[in-house]
Amino acid sequence: MSLIPVLNGFSEKNHTWCAEEVPLDQIAKQFGTPTYVYSKKALSDAFNAYEAACKKPNGEHRARVHYAMKANSNLAILNLFARLGAGFDIVSAGELARVLAAGGSANQVVFSGVGKSKQEMIAALKAGVKCFNLESIPELTRLNEVASELGVVAPISLRVNPDVDPKTHPYISTGLKGNKFGIAYDDVLKTYQEAAKMSSCKIVGIDCHIGSQITEISPYLDALDRVLDLIKALDSAGIKIHHLDIGGGLGISYTDETPPAITDFANTLLNHIEQKGYGHLEVLFEPGRSLVGNAGLLLTSIEYLKPGETKNFCIVDAAMNDLMRPAMYEAYHAIVPVKTNTNTETLTYDIVGPICESGDWLGRDRALAVKPGDQLAILSAGAYGFTMSSNYNTRGRAAEVMVDGSQVHLIRERETIESLFANERLLP
């Protein structure tokens, strides 16, 4: 089985990997490395794959996509999705500010997260977000107070913890009893009843999100059935729900995983909701990874090849600060040489960065025919790549470019070293 996922927007042409029509070595030459490279076509196609299921033949929406921007919050990407008609799922006031700066509308924003601060609630209420997804009674109480002080009514939805196993990495599964997320299933009805008494909150929806990188549909159907049962119970208690937010979490292939295709996934869930008699509800999806993950890669250059006693190391100029996923989750990213070398010996390498930690690796035991100065493409890095990057070891964060056909647009400049300590002060 191939260890390279099937990609849209990136391909090998004449022994050179290209982003759409642009050879990656050309991008490395022009913008330096490490650089994140995104394909506009891959981003747009992924969004349109959701839209194909969300739009009825008459053009009306039976569901809406609220892009979970934590996956990749570059303004150019947000702007692209906003232009295609996306709403957004945010988790901070910072993300709200980005949506507005990118031309998104606050009334298409849902505000998720377990720990919203008072300042964040004020910012979101003033901007006029579509809905707050709340996760506890203390959070509900705080929002009610803040909204009342501002003289406004907060639209709310409660995040249900449906207690289903999404069968994914424990760090990214969120819908199990032991997770910090959501309101325990058995407490949901009484929490809604509390919410109904709060004069500055208006119940508009119900929400759940069971985890990330989910490659099977059955956990979603289980969670959905549990949430639909709740909607029925709420209805009997006189509490009307207008929208059902299914969360995000659809997986992508990093190697040989076979998650459902986006349109099939969305259609299956929407048809299930209709068959159960809830077709009148507005449905929201909150995808992150499935929109951007395979639409981006991290381009890096080889500094040194270092033979070791038990392993060979391929030391590159990208590191765990640029792409945290391998160090944090032991995540697998396929890694390919940008240009195929014919006269170079194939050896097995660990691909590592320059950071002073043994955890600073990007790929392990990879067979590569490479030499110093060559470039590598670390694939499937569009989601949770740049957004989780840091300045560890006082390394400026990578540049980001978006390729559109034969054009390359710089969408974030490489950070300069001076900018990294510009906000620091010496003692008097």
Q: Which residues bind ligand LLP (CB under 6 A)?
A: 68, 71, 89, 112, 172, 209, 212-213, 247-250, 286-290, 325, 329, 383-384
Q: Nearer to ligand LLP by C-beta: 135 or 374?
A: 135
Asked if residues 372 and 312 have their Cβ atoms less than 8 Å apart, the reply is: no
Site of tokens 């207008």: 242
Q: Nearer to ligand LLP by C-beta: 161 or 375?
A: 161
Closest CB 299 distance from ligand LLP, rounded Å: 19
Closest CB 187 distance from ligand LLP, rounded Å: 19
Q: Nearer to ligand LLP by C-beta: 98 or 289?
A: 289
Q: Nearer to ligand LLP by C-beta: 35 or 112?
A: 112
The DSSP code sequence of 32-71 is -SSEEEEEHHHHHHHHHHHHHHHB-TTS-BSEEEEEEGGG
Alpha-helical runs (H) found in 166-259: 188-197, 218-236
Q: Nearer to ligand LLP by C-beta: 39 or 161?
A: 161
Q: Please name which of 380, 373, 420 lies closest in space to residue 28, comparing C-alpha atoms.
A: 373
| Token duo for residue 71 | 């996956």
Asked if residues 331 and 319 have their Cβ atoms less than 8 Å apart, the reply is: no
Q: Please name which of 283, 272, 281, 284 lies closest in space to residue 222, comparing C-alpha atoms.
A: 272
Closest CB 135 distance from ligand LLP, rounded Å: 10
Closest CB 81 distance from ligand LLP, rounded Å: 13
Closest CB 10 distance from ligand LLP, rounded Å: 19
Phi and psi at residue 351, to the nearest 5°: -95, 115
Q: Nearer to ligand LLP by C-beta: 69 or 147?
A: 69
201 catalytic? Reply is: no
Site of tokens 């992150």: 288
Gap between the Cα atoms of 387 and 397, Å rounded: 10
Q: Can you name the residues that pair with 314 across neighbouring β-strands?
A: 305, 351
- Amino acid letter for position 237: A
Gap between the Cα atoms of 87 and 68, Å rounded: 9
Check 131, 201, 314, 356 and give the catalytic one: 356
Closest residue to ligand LLP using C-beta atoms: 288
Distances 38 to 156, 227, 337, 404 between C-alpha atoms, Å? 35, 36, 17, 9
Closest CB 386 distance from ligand LLP, rounded Å: 11
Q: Which residues have a catalytic role annotated? A: 356
